[in-house]
Amino acid sequence: MLLTTVDLLCSVIFVITLHQWAVTNQLLSRPLLFIVGNVVFLSGMLPWFDALARYSIWLHSAQSVMVHHLAPLLWISALQHHSTRPRSNIVAVSHWPFTLLMSGFAVLTWVWMLPELHPLFMQSALLYSVMKWLMALSGIALCLMMIRKHQQTSYWQNLTLLTVIMPLVLWGLLMLVFPNMYSETHSGPHHHHMMMNNLPDWLQLSAVADQYLGGLIFIVAGLAYWQAGTSGIKLTRHARRFAK
Domain range summary for the chain, segments of one domain joined by +: 2-82+94-243
Q: Residue 229, Cβ neighbours under 10 Å: how many?
A: 20
pLDDT tens, N- to C-terminus, the chain (244 residues):
787 888 999 999 999 999 999 999 888 889 999 999 999 999 999 988 988 888 888 999 999 999 999 999 899 888 876 554 444 444 455 677 778 888 888 898 888 888 888 888 778 888 889 999 999 998 888 787 777 665 556 777 788 888 889 999 999 999 999 988 888 776 555 566 567 777 778 788 888 899 999 999 999 999 988 887 665 544 344 334 433 4
Q: Are 165 and 208 in contact (CB under 8 A)?
A: no
Q: Residue 143, Cβ neighbours under 10 Å: how many?
A: 20
Report which residue type is found at 58: W
3-state secondary structure the chain: CHHHHHHHHHHHHHHHHHHHHHHHCCCECCHHHHHHHHHHHHHHHCHHHHHHHCCCHHHHHHHHHHHHHHHHHHHHHHECCHHHCCCCCCCCCCCHHHHHHHHHHHHHHHHHHCCCCHHHHHHCHHHHHHHHHHHHHHHHHHHHHHHHHCCCCHHHHHHHHHHHHHHHHHHHHHHHHCCCCCHHHCCCCCHHHHHHCCCCHHHCCCHHHHHHHHHHHHHHHHHHHHHHHHHHHHHHHHHHHHHC
Q: What pTM did the predictor assign?
A: 0.82
Q: Are 109 and 41 in contact (CB under 8 A)?
A: no
Burial of residue 28 (number of CB atoms within 10 Å: 0-12, 13-18, 19+): middle
* Distance separating alpha carbons of residues 123 and 227, to the nearest angstrom: 37
Q: Residue 194, Cβ neighbours under 10 Å: how many?
A: 13
Burial of residue 118 (number of CB atoms within 10 Å: 0-12, 13-18, 19+): buried
* Distance separating alpha carbons of residues 194 and 207, to the nearest angstrom: 11
